[in-house]
Amino acid sequence: VTSSPPRVPQLSFTLRECCKMRSDTAVVVLLLAIVACVAGQDGAGSSSRWDKLDIDSILKNPRIRQSYINCFLDKGPCTPEGRDAKKAFPDVYKNNCATCSEEQERLLKKTLRAFFAEHKPEWELIVNKYDPKHVHDKGFLEYINKD
């Protein structure tokens, strides 16, 4: 028996609740999913700088992790990867990763399903920053849930 992927919950909580429960690691998880999607958008082949990005090191190293978070939330300087991911996020979100490869889509959906299940408040903070009127919520959530 195969199980279907978890449903993405509706985003029905306040910004105040989000701020109380904020997790920097969750923001990094989303950032890294976007980095994975950006990897193929620059037209770089297997020798691109994306192949050398060590996601585990970023997650395990508080200093590096915080630098990515600060970049994504406009609170500090960005690495080239962080800058590209931050630049790509609005398009990935608005257009449902239309320029992503199948592998990038798979990684994005897998990462964001886990992210939504465990870190709804952080997602709301990100959406409030990049889509304050929540114009693309429904379409993006449907895209993420679609197999």
- pLDDT at residue 135 in the model: 94
For the chain, what's the residue count?
Answer: 147
pLDDT in 10s for each residue of the chain, 147 residues = 555 554 444 444 343 444 444 455 556 666 666 666 665 555 444 334 555 556 556 656 778 767 776 777 788 898 887 888 788 888 889 999 888 888 778 777 877 776 677 667 767 777 888 889 999 988 998 998 888
Q: How far apart are CA 41 and CA 122, in angstroms?
A: 25
Looking up tokens 């630049």, which residue turns up? 87
pLDDT tens column, 76-89: 898 887 888 788 88
**How do the domains of the chain map onto residue ranges?**
23-145
The answer to whether 6 and 43 are in contact (CB under 8 A) is no
CATH entry 1.10.2080.10 includes domain 23-145: yes
Q: Which has the closest alpha carbon to 86: 74, 100, 99? A: 74
The answer to whether 5 and 113 are in contact (CB under 8 A) is yes
**Quick one: the chain helix, strand, coil %, rounded to 5?**
65, 0, 35
- Cα torsion 76, 55, 134, 110 to 10°: value is 180
